[in-house]
Amino acid sequence: MPNARATHLTRRGILAAGGALGLGAVLAACGDDDSGSGDAKSTENAAKSGPWTFKDDRGTTVKLDAIPASIVAFTGVAAALHDYGIQVKGVFGPTRTTDGKADVQAGDMDVSKVEILGNVWDEFNVEKYAALAPDVLISTMFDDAGTLWYVPEASKDKIAKLAPSVAVSVYDRQLTAPLERMWELAESLGADMTAAGVTDAKKRFETAATRLRAAAKAKPEIKVMAGSASDQLFYVSGTNLSIDLEYFKALGVNFVEPPESAKAEGGGWYESLSWENVDKYQADIIMMDDRSSTIQPADITKPTWKQLPAVKAGQVIARSPEPILSYDKCVPLLETLAEALEKAKKVA
């Protein structure tokens, strides 16, 4: 996340502050860059022979003599690859919380077994990165300009010289598109995509999508709002640009949609509201940003929040604005919203 001392947010800073995604506050850096030892499994692919080629979402084709053995990735990408059996050596991005536990974006990874190059926005230890002798760096993109997520602007050129990079776009498309791309990437890296756990997760995702579509069709009158909280402001995300919300909307979910003019300050992602105006939009269900950089519903003390109909009715659920792009981790996102719709009462 951006440093609290920053006085101006670039477009990337807006996204890191939760834009894309719903937040908008510049939050104090948390965590550290302590690291554990690399996982032995990260070198398993080194034994596989033959060249490796992958064309990413920038249209860039990376070619190596062999499948990458030393992979460094944005935390969420590393978590997705972990679900497919691919282990990375280093990560950057929210990995540990201030109490030393794994961040929500780390998924099921053992964060003590990866080198943490940076835990917050604009933090990336280039020296440690070089020491890993990286074969490839993998991240996501929240724009159409090829900007690698959480790779600092100030050191991106130094980082680029050390290894080729691969980007998976999570910008202005439905969730299924990056899920498919991450599947293809994992497969290219040597993952067994026929493993029972992998194929079962994909089937469960498809079942959950059918359930959500049915729930939305049965409750078209239920209005859902995607929100995120900071100490000073509340952020309402529109469905445009966000991979999860675009997909849920396509399945029929009825969302609160701030006008484009209201989202201009948030780079087109969200509208910022003062807590006094948090009741601007009527919603029956509120989906709240679950990232560790945001204030969670149980910790919001604002009286205006507590008076919202959805809050009073207990119809507040979690949202993962930066989904871990494995089918296993995306199933609960659909199931949670489907269940909320099935149980929801019209309160707004």
Q: What is the structure's pLDDT at 8?
A: 34
Q: What is the structure's pLDDT at 6?
A: 30
Spatial CB neighbours of 125, under 8 Å, sequence gap ≥ 6:
33, 117, 118
Q: What is the structure's pLDDT at 9?
A: 42
When the pLDDT of each residue in the chain is averaged and rounded to a whole number, the result is 89
pLDDT per residue as tens digits for the range 221-237:
999 999 999 999 999 99
The torsion angles phi and psi of 206, rounded to 5 degrees, stand at: -65, -40
Answer whether residue 190 shows pLDDT above 80: yes
Bridge partners of 285, per DSSP, are: 224
Q: What is the structure's pLDDT at 17?
A: 46
Using a pLDDT cut of 70, give the percent of the chain over it.
86
Bridge partners of 221, per DSSP, are: none
Could you tell me whether strands 254-255 and 223-229 are parallel, antiparallel, or unpaired per DSSP bridges? parallel
Answer whether residue 254 shows pLDDT above 70: yes
Q: What is the structure's pLDDT at 49?
A: 58
Q: What is the structure's pLDDT at 144?
A: 94
- DSSP letter, residue 56: -
Angle at 181 between CA 146 and CA 19, to 5 degrees: 50
pLDDT mean over 163-176:
98
Using a pLDDT cut of 90, give the percent of the chain over it.
85
Residue 50: pLDDT band (50, 70, 90) is confident
Name the least confident of 49-53, 212-216, 245-249, 266-270.
49-53
Contacts 24+ apart (CB under 8 A), 8-11: 10/153, 11/143, 11/267
Residue with tokens 């469905």: 239
**Amino acid at site 250:** A
Query: Cα(285)–Cα(119) distance, rounded to whole angstroms?
Result: 32
Residue of 298, 299, 293, 300 lying closest to 322 (CA atoms): 293
Helix (H) or strand (E) holding 13: helix 11-16
The torsion angles phi and psi of 81, rounded to 5 degrees, stand at: -65, -35
Q: What is the structure's pLDDT at 46?
A: 41
Query: Cα(112)–Cα(128) distance, rounded to whole angstroms?
Result: 16
Whole-model pTM over 0.85 = yes
